[in-house]
Structure 1
Amino acid sequence: MARPGPEACPRSLLHPSFIAAGATLLIAGLATDIMYWDTSNWQWANSSAWLIAAGLVLALIATIALIIDLLTGRAGRINWISFLLVAAAALLSLLNVFIHSRDAWTSVVPQGMSLSGIVTILLLMAAVRGWKVTAVRTFATGDRP
């Protein structure tokens, strides 16, 4: 049986794994916000700030990987719904890291926890869509849906 040539096989994208890893940290930020709200242990507030900051670093790496995907031709059309979900979550997380830089209680309750909750909802919606903000491009068929 003949095997398809390399031009028929889809190439893998770089950015989805970085989006998923960053989203995991941002969602964990909500969990530590809830723990701080429940226990008032200041270390949970510090953990939230660090998790959100690390999630933003991975969001930056995911952006660079997305640009590489686009420049190398791996990525096809941008899926604007997924892109906007992930971009909105990243921008809200940027605001959230500034809020979490305040003094402990005011950094989490109520604004920090609310923003973390909204970011979590946006990221879970992006997770259902597969973390991909573009379609995979193949040589034989062009863009896949």
Structure 2
Amino acid sequence: MSRLAPGAAPRSLLHPGFIGAGSTLLIAGLATDIMYWNTSNWQWANSSTWLIAAGLVLALFATIILIIDFLTSRAGRINWIPFLLVAAAALLSLVNVFVHSRDAWTSVVPQGISLSAIVTILLLMAAATGWKVTTVRTTATGDSL
């Protein structure tokens, strides 16, 4: 493992903030699914749909920013476990937004809330790495690229 030269600041990755923001919206989708399940107030189901859709938009931005991290040589190698966890959560959320597009009760119970719970578990597991799906790229001498 290389060390940074004295006075050299590591280059920060841009993608973790976008992954974290999108994940927050997707996890909030589970909270609104639970609220709908408990109250049967249709507005909670609508909120879930919007939160999941917004989380997917941020997932798209995170993907674009990840590509920018690679193109600007900020990102090193991919950490496959967090990457696969985040990718699986995004794909399941895409399915989930289609499930949530159905009518009222069937949009949430049981498939919608189950998918939201699985996505939440995957994202919380990925959160252990600080939402970083890559390493920060440094030179052999420790200087940041």
Using the size of structure 1 for normalisation, the TM-score is: 0.92
Shift >4 Å, 4+ stretches: none
Deviations 1:40-86 (A, max 9, x none): 00000000000000000000000000000011100000000010000
Structure 2 matches for 1:68-87, cutoff 5 A?
68-87=68-87
Q: Percent identity?
A: 83
CA contact (8 A) 1:76 1:142 kept: no
Letter in 1 for 2:6: P
Q: Which residue of 2 aligns with 1:4?
A: 6
SS in 1 for 2:10: coil
Cα distance in structure 2, aligned partners of 1:79 and 1:70: 13
SS in 2 for 1:138: coil
The Cα shift of 1:142 comes to: 7.8
Q: Which residue of 1 aligns with 2:115?
A: 115
Q: Which residue of 1 aligns with 2:124?
A: 124
Distance of aligned partners of 1:21 and 1:128 in 2 relative to their CA distance in 1, 3 Å threshold: same
Q: How many residues align?
A: 139
Letter in 2 for 1:90: A
Cα distance in structure 1, aligned partners of 2:105 and 2:14: 38
CA contact (8 A) 1:9 1:138 kept: no
Letter in 1 for 2:53: A
The Cα shift of 1:141 comes to: 3.2
Using the size of structure 2 for normalisation, the TM-score is: 0.92
Q: Which residue of 2 aligns with 1:138?
A: 138
Letter in 2 for 1:138: T
Mapped pair 1:97 → 2:97: yes
Q: Which residue of 1 aligns with 2:28?
A: 28
Cα distance in structure 2, aligned partners of 1:27 and 1:38: 17
Letter in 2 for 1:57: V
SS in 2 for 1:132: coil
SS in 1 for 2:101: coil
Q: RMSD of the TM alignment (CA)?
A: 1.5
The Cα shift of 1:10 comes to: 1.3
Letter in 2 for 1:22: G
